[in-house]
Amino acid sequence: MPSSPFPGQVSLGALILAAGKGTRMRSDRPKVLQTLLEEPLLRYVLDAALALCPDKTWTVVGHGADLVGQTVAARGGRLILQEPQQGTGHALQVAWPALTKAGLTHVLVLNGDTPLMREETLRAFLAASLAADADLAFISLTPKDPAAYGRVIRTKGLVEAIVEARDYDEALHGPPSREINAGVYCLRLASVAPLLSSLKDGNRGREFYITDLAHLAVFVKLTVLGHNHGDCPELLGINTPQELIRSEEFLREAIIRRHLEAGVLIRSPQTVRIGPDVELEPGASVTGPAELYGRTFVRRGARISSHCRLTDTRVGEGASVHSFSLLQEAEVGANCVVGPYARLRPGAILEEEAHAGNFVELKKTRLGRGAKANHLAYLGDADIGAGTNIGAGTITCNYDGTDKHQTVIGRGAFIGSNASLVAPLTIGDGTVIGAGSVITEDVPAAALAIARSRQRNTARKK
């Protein structure tokens, strides 16, 4: 696919408006960092923009600029600071010098709170703008409920203006249509530049509106195109918690559908939440309710039972993750068994056929091939050799109150129930640790170590 949908004489850039506060979310978090399936809204917009304009995508930041800027920088976008934030038109004015300096002829402007605007939709819109030779084009929608979105006013089918819902006056503008502005624009820089200084903040919001460019352009007889995309609720901007959940639900359903079509078995699909970057091989199975996020990868034949949550975790072929398990940045090898009620924290590595059973917690710990910790254990900062058995209640005492220490256990060892292994510690291959021992010193290979007081049976006093 060509990187620019426009022919050679056109130089297209993208500008994402993401400096606003998002007052209607009533949250301290900048709105564009609210999440859909655990990924910030802005990331979806950035991905679409960067796909179209890889080296020419700018993001206007302001409210929460540090945090928002990190998300942008992590994906390779460029930043423009808008301070203070005086509206979408003001954001465009602030960005303008960078756009002209880059030698753009056209800019695609995207609201940062419109995450489900897909690359294909944008390509079709850009193609339509070009075909119409538009100076200013925008995507419009005709949802069932026009809510608080900007209203498109047309006369004989031609765009007259975009009027914000709060400024809409029936006496002045006539009966409202259901056509609204989606917040995606394609501007020809040479045509729009002379209009920028005419933006005024004499509206109810006391802000400079990018949408006022529409009637300014019509007034000077430029070509203005409202490219209607019909009733597409998933393309609506997100301003309220209800709108956020509505969009998340659209995305969730689309992702589930994609996996089902690819041959992943998803049971109770209405209760399964899968992030956009999760990979599931055909023949993997997930039973809801379940959540899979981040860069999780589940191979064929693996089974994720209900009530599990996996983030950035790899699950190998034929592995079983039983109910109520929480896995984060973990690696589960082929044919392993995890849970029920297991917790695998970052750095947990289970090699093939290893088990981490009920109420077992692992952190920065490798369980070698076929090693088993089937019940009630905490294994942190440990390296456990192949075939070793960890008895119920075993604890690696890895923290001395100041520092963390390592426990190394060889292959084929047998750690008796309720052992406390005080790190740093090395336990050799084939060694047996007696149940209830508190082990504070290294144990060589093929030894039997018991560290507990001897049982004494005496006559009971009468």
* Alpha carbon distance 170, 176 (integer Å): 7
Complex with ligand UD1: residue 209 or 250, whichever CB lies closer: 209
Complex with ligand UD1: residue 92 or 336, whichever CB lies closer: 92
164 binds Ca ion (CB under 5 A): no
* Alpha carbon distance 305, 292 (integer Å): 12
Site for ligand UD1 in 16-45 (CB under 6 A): 17-20, 32
Per-residue interface string for the shown chain with ligand UD1, residues 212-251, x marking contact by CB under 6 A: -------------------------x-x------------
CB of 100 to Ca ion, least distance (A): 26
User: Taking a C-beta distance cutoff of 8 angstroms, is the pair 357, 350 a contact?
Assistant: no
Q: Which does 269 bind (CB under 5 to 8 A by kind): ligand UD1, Ca ion, none?
A: none
Structure tokens at 140: 């419009």
90 binds ligand UD1 (CB under 6 A): yes
- 380-386: list long-range contacts, CB under 8 Å, 24+ apart: 380/404, 381/405, 381/406, 381/407, 381/423, 382/406, 382/407, 382/408, 382/409, 382/423, 383/407, 383/408, 383/409, 384/409, 385/409, 385/410, 385/411, 385/412, 385/413, 385/429, 386/351, 386/411, 386/412
398 binds ligand UD1 (CB under 6 A): no
Complex with Ca ion: residue 147 or 397, whichever CB lies closer: 147
Size of interface with ligand UD1, in residues (CB under 6 A): 31
CB of 241 to Ca ion, least distance (A): 13
User: Taking a C-beta distance cutoff of 8 angstroms, is the pair 271, 289 a contact?
Assistant: yes
Complex with Ca ion: residue 237 or 434, whichever CB lies closer: 237
Site for Ca ion in 38-97 (CB under 5 A): none
Structure tokens at 89: 């038109």
User: Taking a C-beta distance cutoff of 8 angstroms, is the pair 351, 369 a contact?
Assistant: yes
Complex with Ca ion: residue 214 or 330, whichever CB lies closer: 214
Q: Which does 86 bind (CB under 5 to 8 A by kind): Ca ion, ligand UD1, none?
A: ligand UD1
CB of 151 to Ca ion, least distance (A): 14
Length of the chain (residues): 462
Give the list of residues 6+ apart from residue 406 with CB closer than 8 angstroms, or none.
381, 382, 383, 398, 423, 424, 425
Among 113, 212, 248, 331, binds Ca ion (CB under 5 A): 113
Complex with ligand UD1: residue 210 or 264, whichever CB lies closer: 210
Per-residue interface string for the shown chain with ligand UD1, residues 139-168, x marking contact by CB under 6 A: ----------xx-----------x-x----
434 binds ligand UD1 (CB under 6 A): no
CB of 151 to ligand UD1, least distance (A): 8
Complex with ligand UD1: residue 32 or 122, whichever CB lies closer: 32
Catalytic, 106? Answer no
339 binds ligand UD1 (CB under 6 A): no
Stretch near ligand UD1 under the rule CB under 6 A, chosen from 6-14, 175-183, 218-226, 363-371: 175-183
CB of 238 to Ca ion, least distance (A): 7
CB of 207 to ligand UD1, least distance (A): 7
Complex with Ca ion: residue 212 or 361, whichever CB lies closer: 212
Among 88, 247, 311, 320, binds ligand UD1 (CB under 6 A): 88
Give the list of residues 6+ apart from residue 403 with CB closer than 8 angstroms, or none.
none
187 binds ligand UD1 (CB under 6 A): no
Which among 215, 229, 375, 405 is annotated as catalytic? 375
Among 82, 239, 311, 325, binds Ca ion (CB under 5 A): 239
Q: Which stretches of the chain bind ligand UD1, using CB under 6 A?
A: 17-20, 32, 60, 62, 82, 85-88, 90-91, 111-114, 149-150, 162, 164, 180-183, 209-211, 237, 239
Please list the active-site residues.
Answer: 375
